[in-house]
Structure 1
Amino acid sequence: MNNFVQPGKTLDYVHTAVVASGSPVLIGTVLVVPGANAGVGVPFPGTIEGVFNLVCATGTAWTMNTPVYWDDTNKRVTTTPTNNTKIGLVAAPKVAAAAIGAVKLIPIV
């Protein structure tokens, strides 16, 4: 296969704000987890696929494979679709009080 470039799970991105390693940012409709700190307009490696422990809304228990969304206003994962961007699925159950949840990022175009 002569046209294969790379698996594509991690790509170089540029953001309009400072990014911190491990703190997700929404770029277009894709949630990107930076692999390094970067300043405004500075390229950084970002992962768009895989399972991550991410900050999430409390008050709702999660079950496996439930769709999850990025709440860009509050910078956290939620199960509420309204005004949020779909980012993937629940990768492990979580109790309602937990503020961190396992999320399988699935880039959705």
Structure 2
Amino acid sequence: MATNYVQRGENLTITGPAATGGEPVFEGAIVGVALHSALAGQPIDVATHGVWEMPKVAADEIGTGDVIYWDDSVSLATTTETGNNELGVAVAAAAVDAATVNVRIRAF
């Protein structure tokens, strides 16, 4: 019997950057969504799996399966890779002017 199992890993408690509940958190290779707000250096619980509704750049037309990035400068999901962190994959299309997109978080 295995005795070194720690946890399922769907939610992790990390010490990382300042975070706002419901927004993405990027810490090294860990990508997740903050389950509550925390200041930098405080423990934060992050969900590392699941599909999350995220606000998006209005000008982006997003197709199902498109890679989604997070633009920290405006706190919006986007299809623009340059200068942004990979968040996950769109699980449904989102038209131009749509306010949100459903994103499956990229498991690390």
How big is the shift at 1:80? 1.0
- Gapped regions of structure 2 (runs ≥ 5): none
CA 65–102 in structure 1, closer or farther in 2 if over 3 Å, else same: same
The letter for the 1-side match of 2:103 is V
Q: Contact 1:51/1:104 (CA < 8 Å) preserved in 2?
A: yes
> Within 1, Cα distance between the matches of 2:14 and 2:26?
11
How big is the shift at 1:38? 2.0
The letter for the 1-side match of 2:71 is D
Report 1:1-109 matches (<5 A): 2=2, 3-17=4-18, 19-108=19-108
Percent identity between matched residues is 29
TM score, norm. by length of structure 2: 0.84
Q: Which runs of 4+ in 1 moved over 6 A?
A: none
> Within 1, Cα distance between the matches of 2:60 and 2:98?
9
Q: Size of the alignment, in residue pairs?
A: 107
> Within 1, Cα distance between the matches of 2:85 and 2:17?
18
- Provide the alpha-carbon RMSD of the alignment: 1.8
